[in-house]
Amino acid sequence: SYELTQPPSVSVSPGQTARIPCSGDALPKTYAYWYQQKSGQAPVLVIYEDNQRPSGIPERFSGSSSGTLATLTISGAQVEDEADYYCYLAGTSDFAFGGGTKLTVL
């Protein structure tokens, strides 16, 4: 089964760039996906297939992946971006979320 590692927390000031890493040995073999979960709400997909942004997701959200590291970048983070962020990998028979990163914007 996949193991994905994320830092428990990341903090930035409004307007700064937030970078949330996700590491895992399976990353070279499959796409990374990113979900945002605000308190008390269901998760929302913010990046799919490493770097694609669903419609309705602000342009400040971007993703990249190289080797065993995937990164979610929020350029010019806003207070409303404060949430938990999870990377997700889907293989042919293995599926897993990272442990999650709490982003604080203040």
Interface residues with another protein (CB under 8 A) are 1, 31, 33, 35, 37, 42-43, 45, 48-49, 52, 54-55, 84, 86, 88, 90, 93-100
Shortest distance in whole angstroms from residue 15 CB to another protein: 28
- Are 49 and 88 in contact by the 8 Å Cβ rule? The answer is no
- Cα-flanking dihedrals φ and ψ of residue 88, to 5°? -145, 135
Report the side by side order of strands in the sheet with 18-23: 18-23, 69-74, 61-66
Q: What is the DSSP letter of 54?
A: -
Closest of 21, 13, 17, 14 to residue 86, by C-alpha: 21
Cβ-based nearer residue to another protein, 39 or 67? 39
Shortest distance in whole angstroms from residue 100 CB to another protein: 4
Cβ-based nearer residue to another protein, 81 or 84? 84
Cβ-based nearer residue to another protein, 1 or 59? 1
